[in-house]
A and B are shown apart, each in its own frame.
Chain A
Amino acid sequence: MPEPKVKKPWTRDAVLRQVGTQAMLLAVLAVVMFPVLWVLSLALDPRNISKPLELTLIPPGASFEAFRKVLFDPFTNLCTVPNDLDSCMTFSDLLINSLLVALTTSVLAVVVGASAAYAFSRFRFWGRQIGMIGFIALIMMPATGVLAPLFVLMNTIRIGGEPLRKTLLGLAIAYTATALPFAIWNLKGYFDTVPIDLEQAALVDGASPMRVYTRIVLPLSTPALAVTVLFSFMAGWTEFILAWLFLDDPSRFTLAMALRGMQGQFTTPWSEFAAMSVLMSIPILLLFFGLQRWIVSGLTVGSVKG
């Protein structure tokens, strides 16, 4: 029987240690929360100040006007026909493009990444180790380093007479290429922990290797798959450098590009910029909360002895 826990009396040292720890945590919290609060405050500020230097949590005359403008007014700098408001992109147009790119990126990263990671985890083949080291090298390489080769590659491949570079699919493929090294390392590490006995039990039970992969390995790896989905979705959702370089047609622009486009040479509508930032973070938050239980849990508990 476990011994009942005895509550230790508070000594002076223990109190000081607690106070010190809490103070440090509060300081870290302040640093983390400051930009978030600042952006929230700015989004509610109706003055649209050009150089935001102050922090007032609820600014004077706080309103949701900036949110309304972002959500419903056309983006006049993103029009396919100059000076034609009807041809300008709206928030919903941009949202659809962003979702298409981010979802395609995360689906491709998971499907391709998991297959590759499974092979690296389970099969012994020539170049296996070099391959894994190569992925590390890719992770370490600055993203801008691969811009030029990706551009050339995507410009060369044509789909329907158009360079792949100019399409949302091309952009998603390029994002997948940058997301894959991390996805493969992350998933390979997780697959290594799935007991091989489970796969062999399924083989003897009558499953084909493909079924073992889809019915046993993948369901058991949901935590790693969830992390891959989240990270690759975020990569596709927030990236704009590659997108600016690849896409010409404003009708294919994404939210991140529009946000970047708000920053003018002389003025920036800071309230709208902040409002758009807040709105853009909502899908990521929703995705995170949706995936949270898998990210946190470890499913393999109880499968084997122990």
Chain B
Amino acid sequence: MATISFEDVGKIYPGGTRALESVNMEIADGEFVVLVGPSGCGKSTLLRMIAGLEEISEGTISIGDRVVNDVAPKDRDIAMVFQNYALYPHMTVYDNMAFGLKLRKFSKDDIDSRVKDAARVLEITDYLDRKPKALSGGQRQRVAMGRAIVREPSAFLMDEPLSNLDAKLRVQMRSELGLLHARLGTTTVYVTHDQVEAMTMGDRVAVMRNGIMQQVASPAELYSDPVNLFVAGFIGSPSMNFIGGEFLTVDGKPHLRYGEQDLELLRTPEGEYTGEIVLGVRPEAFRVPEPGEEVHPNRMMRGKADLVEQLGSDAFVHFELPVKPVITPDIRELLEDEGADPSTLGDTTKMVARVDPVLAPKAGEDFEFAVDVEKVHFFEPQTGDVIKLKEIASA
């Protein structure tokens, strides 16, 4: 097992395209770190640089105490699981798993016991004599895992290993991978495009965008304290709602004015801040008031439910605010990553609230939701950076 550290790591492809810029990170021994971000953010490139499959243009990568910039992949003592499994099709499952051990001149008995142990853990003992083409997607995935774990490397590198599985199997394998990591305790770097996977699996999650590391933090911290609008929008499902508005002080109290409505806030930006602002509200920051409950009118959001998705445990209420959608560079990129076209959003801001399924309004009904103003976030529209807030003396 080993630590992995990145010091000012950069990657420039021949032709001048920059894929990574100044990555600095320390991965602790035994830690499970997930690299997450939209397509083309550089997460797979970074993983492949750890593996030695991509040259390191700038900076240094160390595994343990050793700088590995000029070390061949075979000498880095790492194992990698590929997105498409990359099983050797001309070899049986057994030989696939034994290949790396044979190359490292392990004894026949040692190879046999390691392969069989790994097969037992992964429940693929019955398939050891089969070729990969005779296996299902899930079984192939297990073999790819098996090939990695038999070597007992100092680190595992996983490049979107679950993305080719169907939804149910993905959830199952996700928890199995988590258990496997808990059991082996091997340092793991895991790349995914799926933020749910990132949040559920990682000890820490590194969010990347355009080759730049945005934030490295625990899932809980990423969710509750995103450093910028991009991280806030990328993490969470359904994602955070963004409302463009103006920050002003009314009767000494901080307010956000969006369209015709005001939202009274309990915290105020550090320093003097007035003018345009992007308000971020997570779907669960909305609440249907209990019957008879008194909520301050400036801490309510009113609208008409366009669509209500009943999940049993929660209800997702989709509605629109009569405010022009806020489009910052970060939001544009988030929308494009979801396959949406920012130019077709119209003149209203689309919102999602996650509320109690029993109290949720029906589609077409008018509603009033209380907004938990303790949980809202503020972002600077141009830079996307979070605006730090402080408690006001008396609300």
Q: Are B82 and A206 neighbours in the complex by a CB distance under 8 Å?
A: no
Q: Are A303 and B87 neighbours in the complex by a CB distance under 8 Å?
A: yes
In the bound complex, CA of A156 to CA of B88 (Å) = 47
A302 and B88 in contact, given A205-B100, A206-B100 (Cβ under 8 angstroms): no
Which residues, 267 to 306 on A, are CB-close (under 8 Å) to B?
299-305
Most buried by A among B73, B131, B134: B73
Q: Are A304 and B86 neighbours in the complex by a CB distance under 8 Å?
A: yes
In the bound complex, CA of A303 to CA of B131 (Å) = 9
Q: Chain B's nearest CB lies how many Å from the CB of A194? A: 10
Q: Are A204 and B78 neighbours in the complex by a CB distance under 8 Å?
A: yes
Minimum CB distance partner of A222 in chain B: B90
A200 adjacent to chain B (CB < 8 Å): yes
In the bound complex, CA of A216 to CA of B91 (Å) = 10
B359 adjacent to chain A (CB < 8 Å): no
When distances are taken between beta carbons in the complex, the residues of chain B under 8 Å from A137 are none
B18 adjacent to chain A (CB < 8 Å): no
Majority secondary structure of chain A interface residues (helix, strand, loop or mixed): helix
In the bound complex, CA of A171 to CA of B364 (Å) = 87
Q: Are B85 and A205 neighbours in the complex by a CB distance under 8 Å?
A: no
B89 adjacent to chain A (CB < 8 Å): yes
Selected from A200, A207, A219, A299, the residue in CB contact (under 8 A) with B86 is A200
Minimum CB distance partner of B144 in chain A: A201
Q: Are A195 and B84 neighbours in the complex by a CB distance under 8 Å?
A: yes
When distances are taken between beta carbons in the complex, the residues of chain B under 8 Å from A200 are 51, 53, 73, 80, 82, 86
When distances are taken between beta carbons in the complex, the residues of chain B under 8 Å from A301 are 89, 133
Q: Are B88 and A303 neighbours in the complex by a CB distance under 8 Å?
A: yes
In the bound complex, CA of A203 to CA of B133 (Å) = 22
Which residues, 188 to 227 on A, are CB-close (under 8 Å) to B?
195, 197-198, 200-208, 211, 215-216, 219-220
Q: Are B164 and A219 neighbours in the complex by a CB distance under 8 Å?
A: no
A302 and B74 in contact, given A201-B86, A202-B88, A216-B88 (Cβ under 8 angstroms): no
Which residues, 56 to 108 on B, are CB-close (under 8 Å) to A?
72-74, 76, 78-80, 82-90, 99-100, 103-104
Minimum CB distance partner of B163 in chain A: A305
B137 adjacent to chain A (CB < 8 Å): yes
B132 adjacent to chain A (CB < 8 Å): yes
B283 adjacent to chain A (CB < 8 Å): no
Minimum CB distance partner of A303 in chain B: B89
Minimum CB distance partner of A199 in chain B: B86
Which residues, 35 to 61 on B, are CB-close (under 8 Å) to A?
51-53
When distances are taken between beta carbons in the complex, the residues of chain B under 8 Å from A202 are 88, 99
Most buried by B among A195, A198, A201: A201
In the bound complex, CA of A305 to CA of B163 (Å) = 10
When distances are taken between beta carbons in the complex, the residues of chain A under 8 Å from B133 are 301-303
Selected from B52, B83, B89, B131, the residue in CB contact (under 8 A) with A203 is B52
B287 adjacent to chain A (CB < 8 Å): no
In the bound complex, CA of A211 to CA of B104 (Å) = 12
In the bound complex, CA of A305 to CA of B99 (Å) = 20
In the bound complex, CA of A195 to CA of B89 (Å) = 11
Selected from B52, B84, B164, the residue in CB contact (under 8 A) with A197 is B84
Q: Are B103 and A207 neighbours in the complex by a CB distance under 8 Å?
A: yes
In the bound complex, CA of A304 to CA of B157 (Å) = 18
In the bound complex, CA of A220 to CA of B239 (Å) = 45
When distances are taken between beta carbons in the complex, the residues of chain A under 8 Å from B78 are 204
B116 adjacent to chain A (CB < 8 Å): no
When distances are taken between beta carbons in the complex, the residues of chain B under 8 Å from A204 are 51-53, 73-74, 76, 78-80, 157
Minimum CB distance partner of B87 in chain A: A303
A302 and B132 in contact, given A200-B53, A206-B104, A216-B88 (Cβ under 8 angstroms): yes
When distances are taken between beta carbons in the complex, the residues of chain A under 8 Å from B11 are none
In the bound complex, CA of A32 to CA of B103 (Å) = 51
In the bound complex, CA of A128 to CA of B202 (Å) = 44
In the bound complex, CA of A240 to CA of B51 (Å) = 54
B147 adjacent to chain A (CB < 8 Å): yes
A206 and B74 in contact, given A201-B80, A302-B132, A304-B85 (Cβ under 8 angstroms): yes
When distances are taken between beta carbons in the complex, the residues of chain B under 8 Å from A300 are 89
Q: Are B86 and A195 neighbours in the complex by a CB distance under 8 Å?
A: yes
When distances are taken between beta carbons in the complex, the residues of chain A under 8 Å from B100 are 205-206
When distances are taken between beta carbons in the complex, the residues of chain A under 8 Å from B103 are 205-207, 211
Q: Chain A's nearest CB lies how many Å from the CB of B186? A: 15
Q: Chain B's nearest CB lies how many Å from the CB of A222? A: 8
Minimum CB distance partner of B77 in chain A: A206
Selected from B72, B82, B104, the residue in CB contact (under 8 A) with A201 is B82
Q: Are A207 and B74 neighbours in the complex by a CB distance under 8 Å?
A: yes
When distances are taken between beta carbons in the complex, the residues of chain B under 8 Å from A220 are 88-90
Q: Are B53 and A203 neighbours in the complex by a CB distance under 8 Å?
A: yes
Which residues, 104 to 160 on B, are CB-close (under 8 Å) to A?
104, 131-135, 137, 140, 147, 151, 157
Residues of A participating in the B interface, judged by any CB pair closer than 8 Å: 195, 197-198, 200-208, 211, 215-216, 219-220, 299-305
Which 7 pairs from chain A and chain B are nearest by CB?
Answer: A302-B133, A303-B89, A205-B100, A304-B84, A201-B86, A197-B86, A206-B103
Taking A206-B100, A303-B132 as known contacts, 18 extra A-B pairs with beta carbons closer than 8 A to each other, sorted by chain A number, are A197-B84, A198-B86, A200-B53, A201-B147, A203-B53, A205-B99, A206-B104, A211-B103, A220-B88, A220-B89, A299-B90, A302-B89, A302-B133, A302-B134, A304-B85, A304-B86, A305-B85, A305-B164
Question: What are 26 of the A-B contact pairs (CB < 8 Å)?
Answer: A195-B84, A197-B82, A198-B86, A200-B80, A200-B86, A203-B53, A203-B73, A204-B52, A204-B53, A204-B73, A204-B74, A204-B76, A204-B78, A205-B147, A206-B100, A206-B104, A207-B74, A215-B99, A219-B90, A220-B88, A301-B133, A302-B135, A303-B86, A304-B84, A305-B85, A305-B140
